[in-house]
A and B are shown apart, each in its own frame.
Chain A
Amino acid sequence: MKRIPLQGKYIQGILLFLLLVFAFAFPRIMADKPYWLYVALQSFFWAMMAASWALLAGYAGQFSFAHVAFMGIAAYTSGIAGERLGWSPVSGIILGTVMAGFVGFLVGYLCLRLRSTYLALFTIAFSEIVRLIINAEHQLTGGPMGLYMEPLLETTSYVPTYYIMLAALIVTLLSMYAIANSRFGLFFRAIREDEEAAAAMGVHVVRYKIAAFVITAMIAGTAGALDHHIIGFIAPNELMIPRMSLIIAMAVIGGTESLISASIGAILIHFLMEWLQAIPVSEAMMAKLQANAATVQQFGLTLGDGVIQTNAWRMAFFGLMLMLTLRFWRNGLIQPLLEKIGRQGIAEETVAKRKLPQEENENTEVQP
């Protein structure tokens, strides 16, 4: 009896392994381009945000918009603890994470009764209140001028910080993957599909809803505190709603029902965004553009040194992508691709399985 192996699963595994190898080798490949290394380590921050939002929204069905607020609370907690109490960045990050988890608990607890639209409205109001308070209490937070945070490492090289962010991304992804594929994950999905039915089947809805908020808030908090210690600065503008929209765009375009797709989507979009910021153009094209500089200016584009800067238009592009993805590719753009690879060979296996009993019972050869 010959079984056809599931090629797809292997290919998927090999691809993930190659991706990991590439991620580890990236600083060597990009040794002479520290800017792109910095872009890469920032993209890991977005990946953590998008993946944890995907866990909350895609798995548990809680469409919360308070994610950047959790991120900001953790970063500010860590920054203020460092400035006022002299805490080291590492202990500050831990405190910030705990704080984000605590606020996540409060928000989760308050939101127990609220569904879809009401939850979205409440969480938007919550994150705006957080931003306004941070903005107003300038003695403590620095107000609109922002807050300087102690750098995590005393080096100017991005290589060590790159590996720290990569490690953080891998650890958070693995732990979220473990949660999503445990009983926890099943309960999350049950709540998403039908809260009453889940409760009737014995899921402790209250507990798991709050747990979803706490876990994802803590991940957003870790990512935020860590990343802002690397940047060395945070300002209330980073807590504005468009940042949340960007995270949502990343998660949706990647695929909200798969953590790895959401994070790959975030990384790709962040790179694309950096590239779109200054698109390199050929000299002939540049001359043409320079001749019409006034028109180019009028459309909010800026001509740089051999590049064309798209400014706000790249954001508009991602907004449009978000809408189109929602409308036509419900599962995102990355997730179906991964699934397609993962399902390769399943058809052959099914055909082979169907043929097996025939061979045994009738003992005749199957026509090819």
Chain B
Amino acid sequence: MVNITSQYLLNLLLNGLLIGLIYGLMALGLTLIFSVLGIVSFAHGEFYMIGGYVVYYLLQAFADLEPMLAILAAGAVTFIIGVIFEILFLQPMGKGDIERPGEYAILLTFGLAFFLQHIMIGIVGPFPTKVSRFYDFIEMDAGWLRMNKATVWFFDMPFSSSRLIATGIAVFLTALMIWFMSKTWTGRGLQAVSQDRQAASVVGINPLRMNTLAFGLGTMLAGMSGAALVTVFAWVPWIGMAASGKAFVIIVLGGMGSMPGALLGGVVLGIVESLGAGLYPDPSKALAYKDAFGLLVFALVLLIKPTGFFGRKL
């Protein structure tokens, strides 16, 4: 039994917040895909996994490569894969060539997840890989804030520096994405298509092209959040399944297709997981049940209020 103090609780909360902001970035991609294309991509976690591996391989090949460039490259690779997949397999759906588009999209993205996951097992093998942290922190001691290379103590609460870096990257990318969606013409075009496809095409937006762009951007966000988190977790080719699960929980919690919902849902999930794992009475089962807490919340939201926090009416 862990000794629960208010500081311990606060530490759990803040750790949950840190990881939740990254979850939010990943779910932002999924919710963007849903709002524009009207489908849930079951392969979302696989793009997250690929993003992580791109960084791993780039840093292996070029030891002194700037990690931020590797993250950009991961975004580019996942964007390209997403766009190619969208053009080959999802375009016909937008054109109305597919009989039952809803089921087609579910099974197809499911197949894509299976395909990408096993391709990666074939390439990297079933063993976990670990990427060392992107930057070392300076050593300092200012009383309330102490640092060494790997850990930061903020009022004596420890935080891992790789988590802090990952969260920093995620917050920056999220801000960039919000700016893009609300201030640029392309971003507004995406929003227009998500609100009303026909009206959007009347004012001169090509909905099919927006589909491709939205899918590519969505997979890119997944890839970049994977790239940011690759230093935090041990990376295995099937890590995407858990990530997909988290992204589903978040977008359902926040309301499918809602961007603020995705961010809020991410933070909520991060905190729920952190508190659940930290406070579960039997520590031997706490880790095993960590994912189950999120899923349980998820199943309940689906059954009771499928529209989530900010969802549109079904």
Contacts and interface: CB of A to CB of B under 8 A. Distances in A.
Interface of A: 57, 61, 63, 110, 113-118, 120-122, 124-126, 128-129, 132-133, 135-136, 240-242, 245-246, 248-249, 252, 299-300, 311-313, 315-316, 318-320, 322-323, 326-327, 330
Contacts of A242: 114, 117-118, 238
A326 B108 contact: yes
A245 B115 CA distance: 10
Nearest to A135: B288
B106 A316 contact: no
A299 B124 CA distance: 8
A316 B120 CA distance: 9
A311 B122 CA distance: 7
27 contacts: A117-B40, A118-B306, A120-B106, A121-B302, A125-B295, A132-B288, A132-B289, A135-B288, A136-B288, A242-B118, A242-B238, A245-B111, A245-B114, A249-B111, A300-B124, A312-B118, A312-B126, A313-B119, A315-B114, A318-B114, A319-B114, A319-B118, A322-B110, A322-B111, A322-B115, A323-B112, A327-B89
Contacts of B289: 132, 136
Nearest to B256: A117
B122 A132 contact: no
Q: Is the interface of B mostly helix, strand, loop or mixed?
A: helix
Interface stretch (B97-105, B201-209, B267-275): B97-105
Given A113-B303, A124-B248, A128-B245, 18 more contacts: A57-B103, A63-B106, A116-B106, A125-B245, A125-B249, A129-B296, A136-B288, A240-B241, A245-B111, A248-B111, A312-B126, A315-B114, A316-B118, A320-B111, A320-B115, A322-B107, A322-B110, A323-B115
A62 to B, nearest CB: 10
B150 to A, nearest CB: 30
B114 A117 contact: no
Interface in B226-266: 238, 241, 245, 248-249, 252
A326 B89 CA distance: 9
A299 B289 CA distance: 35
Interface in B79-109: 88-89, 92, 98-99, 102-104, 106-108
Instruction: Pick the 7 closest A-B CB pairs, nearest first.
Output: A319-B115, A312-B121, A322-B111, A136-B288, A315-B118, A319-B114, A300-B122
